[in-house]
Amino acid sequence: MFRIFNRWFSHSREERLQVTPAAPERELSDVEILRDHFSSSQAAESALTDLVQLIAKPLDAATRERLVASTRDAEPGEDTSAILDWALMRHVGEPESIDPSDWCLCIFVDWRASDEIEWQANQLLNTLGIADRWICPDDEQTVPGGLLAFGAWLAPKGYALLHLDTGSDDYIAFAVKRDDLDEALRLATTASANIKTDDMFAASTRVRG
């Protein structure tokens, strides 16, 4: 009996000694952590690309494709609303400008800069191919009120003004054709981009048009 136990313990000790220790886990880089745990899903990225393509319809094909491609250059972990903001503003004040022409896809103003809305709105109208000029009402002193007034003026011309919320103090608004509105909202939802219609925007800012 002693020999049996001795042989059993000897085999167990040999087996333990033959176990290969596990290799230490490789430490992930910050980029890998962001990409694996905080980046948008492939479906969200695809929806965001399609949304930019839809918004950029008024641009020529080459500029539109370069703008759409720029959404794929975002840093790992970047929020989709921030990526959309960056894409819409891509040509403004950037030395590596996608296109030097005077195209404009959005209105971008500080929360106090209501006087900045009118000229940007008319620059957007140029890009949309609308010859009429918009004049901000004299009695409108707030940025939300000015944007809602422009959205109401734009609606009969076949466009809807949408509002992008990036969580900052700035206000960002862009236009899509009324026929594309449902698709734009669907893509925004899939992409997890925080986009509001005029009604949603009015409610969120406690402004009534």
| Residue 95, pLDDT above cutoff 60 | no
Highest mean pLDDT among 23-32, 36-45, 156-165: 156-165
Q: pLDDT grade, residue 206 (50/70/90)?
A: confident
Q: pLDDT grade, residue 170 (50/70/90)?
A: very high
| Residue 102, pLDDT above cutoff 80 | no
Pairing of strands 171-177, 159-164: antiparallel
| Residue 5, pLDDT above cutoff 50 | no
Pairing of strands 195-196, 171-177: unpaired
Among residues 162, 156, 159, the alpha carbon closest in space to that of 186 is found at: 162
Q: How far apart are CA 181 and CA 156, in angstroms?
A: 14
Q: Which two tokens stand for residue 203?
A: 């409610």
- Counting residues of the chain whose pLDDT is more than 70, the rounded percentage is 72
| Residue 117, pLDDT above cutoff 60 | yes
Among residues 82, 81, 157, the alpha carbon closest in space to that of 121 is found at: 157
| Residue 204, pLDDT above cutoff 80 | yes
pLDDT at position 47, please? 94
The domain ranges of the chain are 40-94+102-205
Among residues 159, 130, 161, the alpha carbon closest in space to that of 144 is found at: 161
| Residue 15, pLDDT above cutoff 60 | no
Average pLDDT, the chain: 81
Amino acid at 37: H
| Residue 53, pLDDT above cutoff 80 | yes
- Counting residues of the chain whose pLDDT is more than 90, the rounded percentage is 55
| Residue 98, pLDDT above cutoff 70 | no
Segment 121-137, tens digit of pLDDT:
999 999 999 999 999 99
Q: Which two tokens stand for residue 128?
A: 């949309």
